[in-house]
A and B are shown apart, each in its own frame.
Chain A
Amino acid sequence: MSAEYIIEMKAVSKSFYGAKVLYDVDFKLKPGEIRGLLGENGAGKSTMMRILNGIYTMDSGQIFVDGEEKHFSLPKDARDAKIAFVHQEIALSGNLTIAQNMFLGLEKTTGKYFVDDVSMREAARASLESLNLNLNVDTLVGTLSVAQQQMVEIAKALMQDARVLVLDEPTAALSEKEVRFLFKQMRRLKEKNVAVIFISHRLNEIEEITDTLTVLRDGHIIADGVPTTGLTSNEIIAMMVGRNVTQFYGSEKPQGTDEIVFEVKELTNSVLDHVSFQLKRGEILGFGGLVGARRTELMSAIFGLDPLESGDIFLHGKKIVNKNPRQAIQNGFGFVSEDRKRNGLILVHSIARNLTMNVTSTFIKGIRYDKRKEKEIVDEYGNKLSIKMSSMEQLCQYLSGGNQQKVVIAKWLASNPAVLIMDEPTRGVDVGAKSEIYQLMSELAKEGISIIMVSSELPELINISSRIAVMHEGKLGKIFDEDEIVQSNADELQKEIMFYATGERE
């Protein structure tokens, strides 16, 4: 029996401890459709997907798969209904091979107890080949790149004959080139009549790859199944946030003064190749490049996390050394790292603790602990960044991605840096918070802070940066200055940047 819709959710509701997170959600998906699922963090996207995956059970409502009502209470139920998930965080074991991972929990056996490696490797190979992936099934997953691991996850999902594939922010860790590859695969799946649900915070990707959109806001469906073509980015954002975001990227770009605040000359170590650039007061210098361009490594070296073999760093014209982060902070550097959970926050600690971490010694002297001063600091930066918190004692693990990122930025602002390095400042942050962070960055620059921004999102790079530096394999290829950015149109500029990022031009 074949129904019009492969998946139909009717009036699905869900509450957690009295707080309703999904209100009568209706969702319909046709075979062979690529559906974008959009919404700010906390809108209910992941709850909805977890219900579909059998991780959560709904309070009320119905789910039909191919016209037949299903009751999901375990992930296995979803798997049996041929719905496959690729989660944002990769769920593979690094110490097992590709083949072993693909059959984890589904091992084929000879007899009843003995694993049948031969046929598993054979099936894994076939599945990788169907995706045109040139990988050896005996490779340890831990040695693969993030993009490759993701492809293995997708291959694993497809091997189980999935008819619906849910991709939860699959592009967050991918380079531009890898995103292209992923999209190609998604189109192939579409041809095979597989329905894909694609979750992403990147609007340009949504516009490019999806056929239709579902938008969630505060647990309500705002739109379901509307065609993507014909909607402008502003219209999509308006649906998500419920208001018109006219100035998504901030009013105007900071230009910076002629004063050179910071300069590096010929920085070299095992991964960097004679990198030199200057940073002006009050500008945002964007760093573009593909994954593996060594941008984060450059920033780590500047911040004293990684050693340098040669090269000099100058601050306000004076030669300085950042041997370790402590020295870098004392010299006036701040570093918002790309992975806030790992390097930016202490999730089990309060907002106040995290925010004041770099400036503890201003309010604790010996055993004199000035609580009022601590509160002043938290209030000042909490307000400046409009961090949404129930109290300053709230633990960071309960904050949304956007608010967590604001706490990290506030932490670095509190230490009053002259140079603020921001590595992927809007990664995993929802649209509303993204826009706020852009506004903030441009305000900070206007206040005279010099910002270095590493970004893998081209629209962000082009719209936020005063100047754009492009790296390729540890070398700095080109710096686009203000005039070049203003004079070329966005498409031209994107192409130019990609030329240098891929190393085709040096």
Chain B
Amino acid sequence: MSDLEQPLQKLRIDVSAFPKLSAEEAALASQWTTLALRLPENLAKLNEFLKTRTYIVGNSPSEADVDVFSQTESMLRSWSSIEDLSRYRHIIRWADLVQHTLLEPKTPFTVNYSAEVPREIKAKPE
């Protein structure tokens, strides 16, 4: 009876309604769809990527968001320590947006919005 055994969440919006991606955006989308197949090893990379982005590509939702979300879902439910929340904060933020705007989850994962994670400091360029 775990969440993992649930059928993939129903899409709330028609995929064809997503704006058409430029060649560059489509390449980025496919790159992340591929990288997402090899999570957890790419989790840090995904979190870093989402640091500066609201969605995976461009400034609007795309199929890539739904694809990558489906790969991260089981992990999202397992993160509860402050350490994990802090380490994966950008994935959590993005995934919460995806689940509430693009999907219709029966049981959305919950986010503790006021979790006191340490402030991030921009890494100095090497």
A associates with B: no
Interface residues of B (CB under 8 A from A): none
